Amino acid sequence: MGILKILLIFILCSFLKPSIQSDLETYIVHVESPENQISSQSSLTDLESYYLSFLPKSTSAISSSGDAEAASMIYSYHNVMKGFAARLTAAQVKEMEKKHGFVSAQKQRILSLHTTHTPSFLGLQQNMGLWKDSNFGKGVIIGVLDTGILPDHPSFSDVGMPPPPAKWKGVCESNFTTKCNNKLIGARSYQLGSGSPIDDNGHGTHTAGTAAGAFVKGANVFGNANGTAVGVAPLAHIAVYKVCSSDGGCSDSDILAAMDAAIDDGVDILSISLGGSTKPFHDDGIALGTYSAAERGIFVSAAAGNSGPSLGTVANEAPWILTVGASTHDRKLKAAVKLGNSEEFEGESAYHPKTANSTFFTLYDAGKNESDQFGAPFCSPGSLSDPAIKGKIVLCLRSRSLRKVDQGQSVKDAGGVGMILINEQEEGVTKSAEAHVLPALDVSNADGKKILAYINSSSNPVASITFHGTVIGDKNAPIVASFSSRGPSIASPGILKPDIIGPGVNVLAAWPTSVDDNKNTNSTFNIISGTSMSCPHLSGVAALLKSAHPDWSAAAIKSAIMTTADTLNLANSPILDERLISADLFAIGAGHVNPSRASDPGLIYDTPFEDYIPYLCGLNYTNREVGKVLQRKVNCSEVKSIPEEQLNYPSFSIRLGSTPQTYTRTVTNVGDAKSSYKVEIVSPIGVVVKVEPSALNFSTLNQKLTYQATFSKTTNVSTTIDVEGFLKWNSNRHSVRSPIAVRVSAE
């Protein structure tokens, strides 16, 4: 599992003996709703019979081995879509296409994972504030779709936990029937999960612990980040749905099946730290499944992806999803490398020796001295063969396709005594603190070049690596992580994405195995990074808000999180990105989550679910494509479609030409019954924003008032540019902020 960026992983099938590969592949098949509109639980058998009628009856499809291959159904979906997953040949799909009611068949995609101190950094404190007001998320059920869980970890102890709510219908399958408790109340496994919810990767245990882990004292890695580990919502219940294999591949047929079950089980929150590249919503399994979940009031938090800092890379960007980017927090695990010329460079590492050692060792540049110039510069496994490595500190380049711990293992196997890992230039100041197998640290690309220059200019280049442990108080925090995927959204440019950022760099949480020398305990933790880590932070925040405000809709919770977000760092300056320049809205969305403020937002933008129909029609989808999302027939010519920007969303993403554009927003008063708000506008450069009315006067709670925002271009531009601003509704007690991103077109 990569820490700063994980590439899409494809599942490779191997066999014990040579074999002819089957022509059967897994397809997700969409069909029209049956004419009698089967929907009740008692009719699920009839629905499955309807689905089975689409499978070819004959077994005439012949594989290259000469054997007949029968089509077979894997999953029958009833919540997330009208359709099923089946093992089919291409010829069988062609035969199926002729049947009345068939809509589409797509090969399943294999998606990838987007992978203690953070609750304190978020302002959560015992016996006060949001933790007290929400009773630590008591009564809320978080469904985690991931690699499974280690149930015996103390983070999932149910000491002090109440039993699950009466609505809970989930189960603990396989070998988990005796493992579940009042904390871990559900555990299911799907095809790639190999039949058991046990986590043999680590990712799922980490994300579940981050969202809702119990208080565990003495959590650390190599003694670093020592303290009490706790999830964001420590009294929330956890239900685990294992949809990913040990190598991080997650099939969308499994993901849809898990969501289908989670809806029936009764989860309140879905936490999804995985995804793929952007696709139209009608072809995106996660978008389809989460639409059905959101329609039933389930809050969905999903990772934005680890494909940053390139623009247009954000994933999981449907407007019914809270799309979460990643940022740093104010704790560093400091390490340093000192050169023979007395130059010193700071890095990060979770490795910590039992005894301090500042001995100088000779430096070795793997990219210069090894014969394998493809793998050696990156210290990939098996690439280092030079005997001269023994006893030296090796310089390696960062590789996105390799785990950093594996790069260190390669150096150790070759006889190296330490490793300096040079990040890519685009990673900027983002550094990961991994639990390395030997003394090692990350340094920035700029510092790495200086170290290389020293090696090339010295006849005896030497260095020492020292470890300074945990340092709290980085005033630049939060900084947007380089890997955090950026907007604008490709699937829906009129919706600003990501929505929010949260802690996702060097996050300590539960882990199924020991990564240091502490082999005699089941209280094991690891420090990893990714939007996979920021997503469960927001899932936990949503659980706290749902517990504190059980009458709030999922859209209301999202709005509260977004309109109260921080846009300044601990130094009271604008949040920076990995280049240490002001981060733009395509990096931070509304800003960094502030849980305590989110519990008292004053006003909320509640998106009526029925508005998604004109919104989807406004995306210029065909009737059939819209019908795939809604699971029923739709005629967009009979729907008054709206532009994307008109959706009642807490932010604005405008594409502006010479014609002024006006959009409407409706806000609901959840603050003081009698309250007055005045608008504050910071218009983007070259754009004028006018809001009517300029004041909103409320007399009762839950009262709704509407305003219009008009956007006009003031200057002509020779090329398309992105500019940004915000509008804010201020009362004597609340400030409700909406970011404005404008793409100004050239004339």
Q: Which helix (H) or strand (E) holds 218?
A: strand 216-221
- Smallest CA-to-CA distance from 250 within 109, 105, 86 is with 109
532 annotated active-site: yes
Which residue carries 């009458």 as its tokens? 551
Strand order in the sheet with 721-730: 652-656, 735-744, 721-730, 675-682, 695-698
**What sections of 415-573 are H helices per DSSP?**
445-457, 531-548, 554-563
Distance CA 416, CA 197 (A): 38
203 is catalytic: yes
- What's the number of CA atoms in the CB half-sphere (13 Å) around residue 691? 20
Options 253, 383, 482, 532, the catalytic residue: 532
Give the residue carrying structure tokens 């012949």.
62
The conformation of residue 155, written as its DSSP 8-state character, comes to: G
Q: Which of 78, 114, 203, 734 is catalytic?
A: 203
Length of the chain (residues): 747
Helix or strand or coil: residue 204? Answer: helix
- Dig out the tokens for 606 from the structure: 């509640």
Neighbours of 715 (CB within 10 A): 8
Q: How many CB atoms lie within 10 A of CB 68?
A: 10
- Which residues make beta-bridge pairs with 675? 698
Q: Which residues, in sequence order, are bridge partners of residue 665?
A: 707
Catalytic residue among 146, 260, 330, 442: 146
Comparing C-alpha atoms, which of 123, 284, 276, 270 is closest to residue 211? 270
C-alpha to C-alpha distance for 425 and 281, rounded to whole angstroms: 33
Residue whose C-alpha is closest to residue 150's, from 111, 101, 115, 183: 183
Q: Which residues of 680-710 are buried (b: 16+ CB within 10 A; e: fewer)?
A: eeebbebbebebeeeebebeeeeeebebebe
Q: What is the Cα–Cα distance from 132 to 329, expressed in whole angstroms? A: 23
Q: Which positions are annotated as active-site residues? A: 146, 203, 532
